[in-house]
Structures are given as C-alpha cells and as structure tokens.
C-alpha cells in the first residue's frame, strides 16, 4: 500500500517539476523567438524600404541598426523607448527639443541586456548607424558621462554637428532601478576623400 502511495507521490512530484521547468523555459524561448522576429522585420524594412513591425500588436517599428565594430555586435533600433519596445531592444527617444540645426539621435536601452555592451566602450570608439533608408553614418565617441538624473543636459542636445547619444541605467552592476544614467556621446565622423 505504501509503495503505491510513494510511487503516485513520486509521479506527481515529477509532473510538477516538469511543469515548473516548462514555465521557467517560456521567457528565454519567447526572447529568442522575439529577437528572430525583430531581425526578420528589420531585413524586411531594408528590402521594402518601409517601416515594418515584428508582430501585429507591437507598438513600435524597426527604424535602424546600430553596429559596434570593436565588439563585433549589432542591435536593431526600435522607433520608441516605450516599456514594450525596450523589453525587446534599443529604443529611440523621441520629442527631443533643441535649438541646434541638428537634432541628436538618442538611443536608450536596459543595462543588463541590449545596452550591456556600453560598459566596454570608451572615448574614440567607432559606432555605425544604418537607418531604414539605407543611409549609413559613422560616429566616434567623444565623451562618456554619468548623470545624476534621467534628463540630459542642454549641452548634450545642442551641437553644430550630428550627434548620437547612447544612454542606459548606472551603475551596470546594480540590481535596483536608479536615477543615474551612463551616457556616451558620439559625434558624426566625416571622412575626407
């Protein structure tokens, strides 16, 4: 009698364990599939020369690709820095007010995932930005800064040159959300022929 009870209890524990493993595996599987959809939508955007969504319910489009040659990585850029968009990738911060003739391109992402590479970059490193119209621009990091609040200063936003700004939470090793931001400022590099 006890052996049947222990066998049934053992089977129940195995089933509960398998259900737990399946639930724990869903997030990483969803993330892998989501990244695949982002890449496909980006390639479709380039091919059709129009903005594409990775799935119908997405509140963002693929608008570009950031490449970091030093680290041999690239990230798809999303049209928004909304909560949903930043869960999937790097988002472009819109509604930037500036008095300069060049409006900076500000990209934001999470320090523990899509923007983790920022900790390995320094002044002088090259960044390449391809937009959906296939225009390719090269930027050189000119400044690294840590801000005490999420807002960027006017000096970062106003420039007489095209500027790319990457931002993420600081410090990189923190487990809690904070107000400090790590900011990399890169200026457009124009090669003279």
The rounded distance, in Å, linking the Cα atoms of 29 and 140 is 35
Please say if the pLDDT value at position 114 is more than 60: yes
User: CA angle at residue 175 from 179 to 104, to 5 degrees?
Assistant: 40
Q: Is the pTM of this model over 0.85?
A: no
Convert the pLDDT of each residue in 145-154 to its tens digit.
998 877 666 5
Which pair of structure tokens corresponds to residue 22?
A: 């399946």
Which option is the CATH number for 44-188: 2.60.200.30, 3.30.70.420, 3.30.530.20, 2.40.260.10? 2.40.260.10
The DSSP secondary-structure symbol of 193 reads: -
SS in 3 state form for 129-155? EEECCCCEEEEEEEEEEEECCCCCCHH
For residue 100, what pLDDT band results from cuts at 50, 70 and 90? low
- Rounded distance, CA 7 to CA 170, Å? 52
8 Å CB contact between 172 and 184: no
């Amino acid at each position: 009698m006890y052996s049947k009870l222990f066998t049934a209890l053992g089977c129940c524990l195995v089933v509960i364990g398998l259900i737990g493993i399946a639930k724990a595996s869903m997030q990483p599987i969803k993330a892998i599939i989501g990244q695949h959809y982002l890449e496909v939508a980006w390639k479709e955007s380039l091919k059709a020369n129009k903005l594409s969504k990775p799935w119908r319910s997405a509140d963002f489009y693929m608008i570009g690709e950031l490449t970091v040659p030093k680290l041999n990585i690239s990230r798809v850029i999303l049209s928004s820095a909304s909560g949903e968009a930043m869960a999937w990738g790097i988002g472009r911060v819109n509604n930037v007010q500036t008095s300069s003739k060049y409006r900076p391109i500000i990209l934001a992402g999470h320090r523990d995932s899509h923007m983790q590479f920022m900790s390995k970059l320094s002044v002088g490193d090259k960044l390449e930005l391809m937009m959906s119209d296939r225009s390719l621009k090269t930027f050189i990091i000119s400044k690294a800064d840590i801000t005490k609040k999420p807002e960027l200063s006017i000096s970062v936003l106003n420039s007489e040159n095209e500027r790319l700004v990457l931002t993420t939470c600081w410090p990189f090793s923190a487990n809690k959300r904070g107000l400090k931001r790590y900011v990399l400022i890169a200026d457009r590099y124009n090669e003279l022929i």
